[in-house]
Every structure is written in structure tokens, then in C-alpha cells.
């Protein structure tokens, strides 16, 4: 029978037709038994005593909507809890949840009457309705706001610029309140403080590291006066991060590509990148690689000369190997522009010279075909635009912004078109730039022979083995999911959902660019083709998911961002999706800003642990350092002008810590035999999740009161054996 008092003002879900499935405890396999033996102490239990005269009441499940924790109740006043490790003569009854989402488990004595009915009580509170209502109203508000600002370019652009300012502040915060060096960073610092300049060349770096020569030399020059502290090490990545934001602004407002949607969307995509924020204060070359890629893409979009582009490529390659990959792809864009747009450029010069003359008052010239707004503030800006046949056909002046101009009716103006000689244009391009191409090739060959080949050790190819494009077709579904698409997760603030969205927008970005800006489309396609070929031939990998995994592809982020931004423009140009695009843009302006702010406050400190460990060392101390923590320990020992002797344990990337415990126990037993009381200190960071539990438990076997100092990312334990 049910207690009606407990069901007042509640919606009850009765499952009279549910038949519990049960089995004796003795038949439970060892795995299930282990699971029940480890039940938490706060788990509620059922009455163990059954009254022979009065059948036990049927238990019911009560679920609190606040904490979603089920509780079990019976009418019996005298309840004796069942101990979690005593299940003899008990049976388990499993009821299917009314929503078929999970099971409700009862553990009862064999001689008790098995339950035939449960009542599922839900505390239905207004909080649920409030949540639904807030989502609904928020969506409506976003839509109305997007509709209101549809014709106003300033609101979204100003909001994006505010996000750009916040991105600068967050990077400055990350630099001032830096996090401690992690494994790879600390290993690379060995090349700073313990490697002379002459040993940086003609041999691989120690500690399994590699970096471009310019990055190493400049970091060493900057760090030497400051004893290679964190501020000096992080300075170059920090400046690179700020330079990325500066180039983001420059690209977003280029006359050839800016629009009411592209400009704010591109800024938001860059500022919302976890990886670009993280590596702006990380002593690795990845932020420099991103900055170099942004610079080369900017030079191409700004239609700078090929000579300037080659000089910039040589300079960037000193700080970024991957800038050579970007330059190779954009070279095809320059070639395409020279072949197919040389005549159009010449015709357009005559057209603009004869019709716009020296006027600087024309601000909006709209192409009827593409419906893109080109902002012309001077004759030179008009000449710098990426002119194609479609946007050269006819121009129409926006009369709102041409009050001091006579109306220019471009329908009556027909620029003269000359036949395009593709072969001649291609030969002219190579003839004009032969010297610069030869200089670049000579530089790349010398750079490889004198430096890069010494850095490209077999260690890296073994470490990257799983990140190269597979040659087996059956492995592609898993590789695309775990490697290629998951790389996007490090570029956005929305995880896997954002990765899927980026991929979709990239595809439509190609479609838009092929129709409207084909030279840029060819350049980006060539970069992606190079990106794929490098992985196929096992030269440079894709990487994997997350902030750390995406670092190998961080130089490609500018390509992904531009494609995604133009993919957004593709949908924004359609009337039926324009308001949705505006609402989405408003939403992602605020969400990544919040996510970036939260991410910037995450800290991992190991310096305090190392300092405390070294300060507590005496002549009889014995130090053990976890192998992945060795570079960190060495660096901070150097910062404290100490050089303590220590012994390492564990193998790099070892996931099974059982052998570690056996090794340490044997070492401790040897120390105990030699001396009755020896002080032992163990330093661990970059460890797996079990070490912070297993090592203290091992220490307690020898000392009941070990001293443990633990912070996020590392711990030190000191005890006597």
C-alpha cells in the first residue's frame, strides 16, 4: 500500500505493470560485486528486518529535482542499514525507469516480499519552467535585436572591436600572471640556460625538442639578462599573440574583403580561439607560427607585391618552419592573379581613372552581381580591390554617401576588355619575379642543409606516427573524427559542436570564394592541399583534438577562420537566413568572451613545490623525480641556483603506475636497510590521475604522517623511511 500523505501535491508515476527482474547475490560476477562493495557511505539503504505478521511496505523512489539524487523510504520506523560489504542472503531487484532511461535497484533480504510497485515522485518546481522560458525569450530577443541592427554595420562591428580589446587584456593578464612551465616548455628552456650558442647549430637540440633558429636565438638574447625567467621566455610568444590581434584587425578591415558581416565575424572567430590565447603565453614557437601565417595572408589580401611577399617569407621562416607551407600555397594565388586578372586589372585602372578621376568622396560602390559593398575612400583603394569580371561589369553609386558627387551611372560605362593571353601572363610573372623566386629557393635549401635537417630527428616522426594521414582507407573514418575534425576543437570556444560548425562553414566559404574571389580561393585551396600532402608523405602531421593537440595545426588557423567567415557571409547574403546569422553572431560575441575570461584564470603552479622541496633538502635527503617532471625540476632548480642530486622513476608516457610503485618500494626498502631513518622527497607533475593517490599510500607504509604539498598540476611528498 502507498502512503497517501507522501503523495499530496505531487505528480505520481505508477509502474504497476513493471515486473522486477532479480537474481541472487551469489550469482553476481566479481565485477558487479566490486561495484557494490564500493558503494558510497551516503547511499541510502533499505530495511533488513521483515515482520512476519505485517508485510513490509512497498518502497518508493523519491527524486529531488535540485540535486537529482534518488532516496528510498519505507514506513518502518526502525531501520537497520545494510553494510555495503555484506550481501549474503540478499537479492537485487532491478526496475526499469518509467522513461526507460536507467534502472532502479533494490537490495533486500531473501525472505522479504519483493516489491511489485514503485512510485516515482517528481518535485516539479518553477525553476524548470523558468529555464525553458528564459531560453525561449532569449532566442526571441536575439532575433529581434538582429532584425533591428540588420541595416546598421556599426553595432556588430563595435561589439567585435570591444571583443578584440578584451582579447588584448586577457593576453596581457596571462603574461603578467603567468602559469608555470609545463613539460615541453621546460624541456625547451634547457636550450636557453644550459646550451651555448655554438651548440644550437649543426646538431639536434637535447630533451627531444626542436625550434626555428630565429626563435631560439632571439629568446636566448632576450632571456640572458633576466636569468631566463618566465617573463623573458614568454615575451616573444606574447608579442606574437598581440601581433596576431593587430593583423586580425587589419585583415578584417581590408577594403577588398570587408563587409558588414565578414568584419565582425572574422574578429570574433580569432578572439574566440582557445589555442591562440593559450600559446600567446607558452614558451613554444606555435604562436609565432600563427603570427607568420597571419602576416603572409594579410600581404596577399592587401595585394602587396610578390617581391615584398618573398622577403616576408624568408624573414618569417626564421621563426616559423610552417610559414614556408603557407607561402607555397599563396604562391599559387599570386600566379592565378597574374594569369587571369592582369588584363582585368589594366582595364579597371583605365575605367576607374576615367570615371572616378581624383574624387575621394565616393564611399559606397555596390556590385550588382555579388551584392558586396566595396568602400572606396580614394582612387588607390579602388585599384587595390580584388577585381574580377563579375564585379567589373557594372557599378552603382550609393546616393546616400555621394552628396557632393554627380551621379555616376555605370550602366552607360563600358570598360574595354582585351583578350586574356594566359601563357603570356604566366611567363611575364615568372620573368618579373625570377630573381626573388631563386633567392627563396636558395635560402630554403641552405636553411634545410645547415639547420632543419639536424632538428628533424626520428624521435619526432615516431611521436607523430598516429597524427599522419593513414594510407589505409578503413582507418579514415576514425582519423577524420579523432584528428582532422577534432583539430577544430582547439580553434573555437564550443568544443565538438563548434568543430562541426567550422567544417560546414569552411565548405560554404570555398563556394563563396570560388564565385566571388577566385584568386583567394585558389591560394587557400593550395594551402590546404599542401597541408594534406605534408601529412600524407609523413613530413608534418595534423595533430589531434583540444588545445594541446591543435598546436601542430595552429599555423592553419587563419585559413580556417577566413573560410569560416566567408561561409557566414554566404548565408548572410540570403534574406531568409540573414537575421539568423546576425542573431548567431550576437550570441557568439558574448559566449567566447566569457569562455576566454574563464580560461585565462586557470593556473598551474609547480614553482612553489620545487622551491619548498629544494629548501628542505639536507645532506641525508634522497630525492625521487617523476621522469616527465624532470625538465620542470631542472629549470626551477636553475632559477633557485641549486643543483640537487636526484633519481628518476617511471618511463615517459607510462600509463600503468604499478611498476612505479614496485620500483619505489624496493628503493625505500634498500634505504631502510642502510640507515634507520632517511628523509625522502618525491616530486611529481605531468603525472597520471593515480599517482597522487598511490604514492601517498605507499609513503604511509613507511611513515604514518608524511608531509604532502599539492597544487594544481603537481605535488611533493616528504617522509622518513
Q: pLDDT digit string (tens) for 644-687?
A: 889 998 865 555 677 888 888 888 888 888 777 888 999 888 76
**pLDDT, position 577:** 80
Alpha carbon distances (Å) from 393 to 183, 338, 415, 706: 58, 20, 8, 81
Give the helix, strand, coil percentages of the chain, each rounded to 5: 55, 10, 35
Instruction: List 649's β-bridge partners, or say none.
Output: 626
- How many structural domains comprise the chain? 2
Domain assignment present for residue 257? The answer is no
Please say which residue of 96, 122, 148 terminates a domain.
Answer: 122
Contact between residue 298 and residue 333 where contact means Cβ atoms under 8 Å apart: no
- Secondary element (H or E) of residue 391: helix 389-392
**pLDDT, position 367:** 41
602, 587, 599, 604: which is closest to 274 by C-alpha?
A: 599
Please say which residue of 67, 93, 122 terminates a domain.
Answer: 122
Cα distance between residue 279 and residue 554, in whole Å: 9
Domain assignment present for residue 82? The answer is yes
Domain assignment present for residue 45? The answer is yes
Domain assignment present for residue 101? The answer is yes
**pLDDT, position 455:** 86
**pLDDT, position 94:** 56
Domain assignment present for residue 252? The answer is no
Please say which residue of 58, 93, 122 terminates a domain.
Answer: 122
**pLDDT, position 413:** 41
**pLDDT, position 138:** 58
Domain that holds residue 67: 4-122
**pLDDT, position 329:** 96
In 629-658, which positions are buried (b, 16+ CB within 10 angstroms) versus exposed (e)? bbbbbbbbbbbeeeebebeebbeeebeebe
**pLDDT, position 127:** 56
Contact between residue 611 and residue 636 where contact means Cβ atoms under 8 Å apart: yes
**pLDDT, position 131:** 59
Residues of the chain with pLDDT under 70: 1-153, 342-420, 495, 592-604, 619, 651-656, 687-689
**pLDDT, position 153:** 59
Q: For residue 293, what is its C-alpha cell?
A: 601565417
Could you please report the per-residue DSSP string of 334-386? HHHHHHHSHHHHHHHHHHHHHHHTT-----EEEETTT--EEE-SSHHHHHHS-
Domain assignment present for residue 181? The answer is no
Q: In this structure, what are the phi and psi dihedrals at residue 342, rounded to the nearest 5 degrees? A: -65, -45
Alpha carbon distances (Å) from 359 to 23, 386, 499: 90, 20, 46
Domain assignment present for residue 378? The answer is no
Domain assignment present for residue 646? The answer is yes
Alpha helices in 517-621 (DSSP H): 518-536, 546-549, 557-572, 575-600, 607-615
Cα distance between residue 485 and residue 447, in whole Å: 33
Cα distance between residue 30 and residue 106, in whole Å: 19
Q: Which residues contact 368 (CB under 8 A, 6 or more apart)?
A: 393, 394, 396
Indicate the pTM of the whole model. Answer: 0.71
687, 691, 689, 644: which is closest to 664 by C-alpha?
A: 691
**pLDDT, position 659:** 80
Amino acid at each position: 500500500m502507498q502512503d497517501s500523505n507522501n503523495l499530496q501535491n505531487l505528480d505520481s508515476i505508477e509502474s504497476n505493470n513493471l515486473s522486477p527482474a532479480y537474481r541472487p547475490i551469489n550469482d553476481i560476477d566479481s565485477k558487479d560485486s566490486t561495484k557494490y562493495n564500493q558503494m558510497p557511505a551516503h547511499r541510502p539503504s533499505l530495511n533488513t528486518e521483515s515482520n512476519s505478521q505485517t508485510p513490509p511496505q512497498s518502497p518508493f523512489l523519491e527524486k529531488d529535482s535540485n540535486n537529482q539524487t534518488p532516496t528510498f523510504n519505507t514506513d518502518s520506523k526502525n531501520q537497520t542499514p545494510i553494510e555495503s560489504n555484506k550481501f549474503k542472503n540478499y537479492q537485487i531487484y532491478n526496475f526499469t525507469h518509467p522513461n526507460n532511461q536507467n534502472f532502479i535497484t533494490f537490495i533486500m533480504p531473501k525472505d522479504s516480499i519483493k516489491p511489485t510497485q514503485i512510485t516515482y515522485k517528481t518535485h516539479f518546481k518553477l525553476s524548470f519552467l523558468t529555464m525553458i522560458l528564459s531560453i525561449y525569450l532569449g532566442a526571441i530577443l536575439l532575433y529581434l535585436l538582429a532584425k533591428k541592427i540588420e541595416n546598421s554595420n556599426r553595432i556588430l562591428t563595435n561589439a567585435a572591436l570591444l571583443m578584440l580589446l578584451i582579447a588584448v587584456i586577457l593576453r596581457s593578464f596571462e603574461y603578467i600572471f603567468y602559469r608555470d612551465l609545463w613539460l615541453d616548455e621546460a624541456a625547451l628552456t634547457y636550450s636557453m640556460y644550459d646550451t651555448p650558442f655554438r651548440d644550437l647549430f649543426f646538431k639536434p637540440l637535447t630533451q627531444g625538442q626542436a625550434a626555428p633558429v630565429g626563435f631560439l636565438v632571439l629568446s636566448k638574447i632576450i632571456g640572458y639578462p633576466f636569468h631566463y625567467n618566465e617573463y623573458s621566455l614568454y615575451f616573444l610568444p606574447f608579442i606574437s599573440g598581440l601581433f596576431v590581434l593587430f593583423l586580425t584587425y587589419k585583415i578584417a578591415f581590408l577594403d577588398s574583403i570587408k563587409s558588414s558581416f565578414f568584419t565582425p565575424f572574422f574578429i570574433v572567430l580569432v578572439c574566440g580561439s582557445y589555442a591562440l590565447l593559450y600559446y600567446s603565453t607558452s614558451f613554444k614557437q606555435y604562436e609565432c607560427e600563427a603570427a607568420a601565417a597571419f602576416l603572409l595572408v594579410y600581404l596577399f589580401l592587401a595585394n602587396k607585391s610578390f617581391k615584398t611577399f618573398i622577403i616576408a617569407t624568408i624573414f618569417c621562416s626564421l621563426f616559423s618552419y610552417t610559414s614556408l607551407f603557407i607561402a607555397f600555397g599563396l604562391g599559387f594565388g599570386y600566379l592565378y592573379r597574374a594569369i587571369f586578372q592582369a588584363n582585368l586589372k589594366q582595364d579597371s585602372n583605365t575605367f576607374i581613372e576615367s570615371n572616378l578621376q581624383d574624387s575621394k568622396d565616393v564611399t559606397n560602390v555596390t556590385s550588382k552581381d555579388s551584392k558586396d559593398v566595396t568602400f572606396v575612400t580614394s582612387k588607390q583603394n579602388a585599384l587595390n580591390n580584388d577585381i574580377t569580371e563579375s564585379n567589373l561589369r557594372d557599378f552603382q553609386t550609393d546616393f546616400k554617401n555621394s552628396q557632393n558627387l554627380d551621379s555616376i551611372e555605370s550602366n552607360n560605362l563600358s570598360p574595354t576588355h582585351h583578350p586574356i593571353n594566359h601563357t603570356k601572363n604566366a611567363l611575364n610573372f615568372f620573368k618579373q619575379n625570377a630573381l626573388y623566386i631563386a633567392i627563396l629557393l636558395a635560402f630554403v635549401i641552405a636553411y634545410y642543409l645547415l639547420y632543419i635537417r639536424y632538428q628533424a630527428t626520428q624521435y619526432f616522426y615516431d611521436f607523430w606516427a598516429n597524427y599522419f594521414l593513414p594510407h589505409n582507407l578503413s582507418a579514415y573514418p576514425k582519423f577524420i573524427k579523432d584528428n582532422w575534425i577534432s583539430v577544430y576543437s582547439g580553434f573555437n570556444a564550443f568544443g565538438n559542436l563548434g568543430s562541426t560548425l567550422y567544417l560546414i562553414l569552411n565548405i560554404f566559404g570555398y563556394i563563396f570564394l570560388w564565385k566571388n574571389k577566385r584568386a583567394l580561393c585558389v591560394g587557400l585551396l593550395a594551402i590546404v592541399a599542401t597541408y594534406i600532402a605534408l601529412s600524407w608523405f609523413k613530413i608534418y602531421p595534423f595533430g589531434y583534438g583540444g588545445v594541446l593537440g591543435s598546436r601542430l595545426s595552429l599555423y592553419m588557423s587563419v585559413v580556417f577562420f577566413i573560410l569560416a567567415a566567408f561561409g557566414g557571409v554566404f548565408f548572410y547574403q540570403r534574406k531568409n537566413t540573414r537575421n539568423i546569422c546576425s542573431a548567431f553572431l550576437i550570441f557568439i560575441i558574448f559566449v567566447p568572451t566569457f569562455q576566454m575570461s574563464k580560461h585565462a584564470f586557470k593556473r598551474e603552479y609547480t614553482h612553489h613545490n620545487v622551491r619548498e622541496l629544494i629548501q628542505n633538502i639536507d645532506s641525508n635527503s634522497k630525492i625521487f623525480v617523476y621522469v616527465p617532471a624532470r625538465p620542470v625540476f631542472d629549470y626551477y632548480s636553475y632559477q633557485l641556483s641549486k643543483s640537487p642530486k636526484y633519481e628518476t622513476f617511471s618511463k615517459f608516457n607510462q600509463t600503468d603506475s604499478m611498476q612505479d610503485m614496485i620500483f619505489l618500494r624496493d628503493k625505500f626498502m634498500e634505504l631502510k636497510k642502510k640507515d634507520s631513518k632517511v628523509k625522502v622527497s618525491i616530486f611529481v607533475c605531468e603525472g597520471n590521475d593515480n599517482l597522487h593517490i598511490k604514492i601517498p599510500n605507499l609513503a604511509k607504509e613507511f611513515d604514518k604522517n608524511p608531509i604532502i604539498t599539492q597544487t594544481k598540476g603537481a605535488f611533493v611528498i616528504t617522509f622518513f623511511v
